[in-house]
């Protein structure tokens, strides 16, 4: 709807990495119906652990949105994200029992641990708000783009995976991601040169972590 911002410019610049993160074989296999259910279960268990670590990250973004942003609406957008994470954890639990995945025995794999460490580093007060907001947008947007693809025209997504795809692929989540993107864009317009450079770097790192995260599903355990 608006003019092309810096985030879209960065996405264009890193187009193949962005495609690797949003059109991974695992995601494509959900869409074409060939998905291996043991891969799905692996993803489910690992993502449950990821989300548990993502909650404190988003809580940190919320605190910064209250303190550091000039706009009162920033906090409301992030609060909406935090609220949906509450539903998400409940959804994971019911999905875990549906698929027979016992989360209490799931161990975080290396890619998951590395992603968590990256999120923890972003929670440092040294990292500027514009950088954190860019990372936050990228983390949410990869899931939105990926799962929306599984719901797009001509999909053969198995009926039992539609719920998972709807969780991130629905239009409300798409709108929410656009709101986060607009916040990040506004912050980047006023960011220091260093923060601007760091934000692009962090965006690339998120995409790399997301690719590595999808890759874990290949292990199938
Ligand atoms: C790995 N990235 C990963 N898991 C998630 N649940 C999200 C992003 C949410 O957007």
* Vertex 153: Cα angle to 95 and 4 (nearest 5): 95
Q: Which of the four pLDDT bands, split at 50, 70 and 90, describes residue 4?
A: confident
> pLDDT digit string (tens) for 117-149?
999 999 999 999 999 999 999 999 999 999 999
Instruction: Work out the pLDDT band at 50, boundaries 50, 70, 90.
Output: very high
Ligand 1 nearest atom to the CA of residue 168, by list position: 10
CA of 190 to the centre of ligand 1 (A): 28
**DSSP label of 170:** S
Buried b (16+ CB within 10 A) or exposed e, 39-50: bbbbbbbbbbbb
Q: Pick the residue whose CA is nearest to atom 10 on ligand 1.
A: 140
Tell me the pTM. 0.96
Instruction: For 161-209, write each residue's pLDDT tens digit.
Output: 999 999 999 999 999 999 999 999 999 999 999 999 999 999 999 999 9
Tell whether ligand 1 has an atom less than 6 A from the beta carbon of residue 143. Answer: yes
Residue 66's pLDDT is what?
Answer: 83
Which position among 145, 185, 200, 210 bears the catalytic label? 210
- Interface pTM, i.e. ipTM: 0.98
Q: Mark whether 210 is an active-site residue.
A: yes
DSSP character at residue 124: S
Q: Which domains does the chain have, with CATH numbers?
A: 6-216 (1.20.910.10)
Q: What is the pLDDT of residues 74-109, one digit of tens each?
A: 999 999 999 999 999 999 999 999 999 999 999 999
Specify the DSSP element, H or E, that contains 69: none
Rounded to 10 deg, the angle between the 15-22 and 129-149 helix axes is: 60
- How far separated are the first and last CA of the chain, in Å rounded? 42
Considering only CA atoms, which of 197, 211, 77 is closest in space to residue 143? 211
Nearest CA to ligand 1 atom 8: 139
């Amino acid at each position: 709807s608006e003019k092309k911002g810096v985030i879209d410019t960065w996405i264009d610049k890193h187009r193949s990495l962005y495609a690797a993160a949003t059109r991974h074989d695992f995601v494509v296999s959900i869409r074409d119906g060939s998905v291996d259910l043991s891969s799905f279960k692996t993803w489910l268990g690992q993502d449950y652990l990821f989300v548990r670590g993502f909650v404190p990250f988003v809580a940190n973004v919320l605190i910064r949105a209250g303190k550091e942003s000039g706009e009162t609406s920033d906090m409301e957008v992030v609060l909406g994200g935090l609220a949906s994470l509450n539903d998400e954890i409940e959804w994971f639990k019911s999905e875990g029992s549906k698929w027979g995945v016992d989360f209490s025995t799931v161990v975080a794999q290396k890619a998951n641990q590395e992603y968590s460490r990256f999120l923890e580093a972003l929670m440092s007060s040294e990292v500027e708000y514009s950088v954190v907001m860019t990372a936050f947008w990228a983390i949410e947007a990869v899931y939105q783009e990926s799962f929306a693809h599984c719901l797009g025209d001509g999909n053969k997504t198995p009926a039992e995976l539609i719920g998972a795809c709807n969780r991130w692929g629905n239009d409300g989540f798409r709108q929410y991601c656009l709101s986060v993107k607009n916040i990040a864009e506004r912050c980047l317009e006023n960011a220091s040169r260093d923060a601007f450079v760091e934000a692009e770097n962090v965006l690339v790192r998120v995409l790399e972590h997301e690719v590595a995260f999808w890759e874990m599903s290949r292990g199938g355990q």
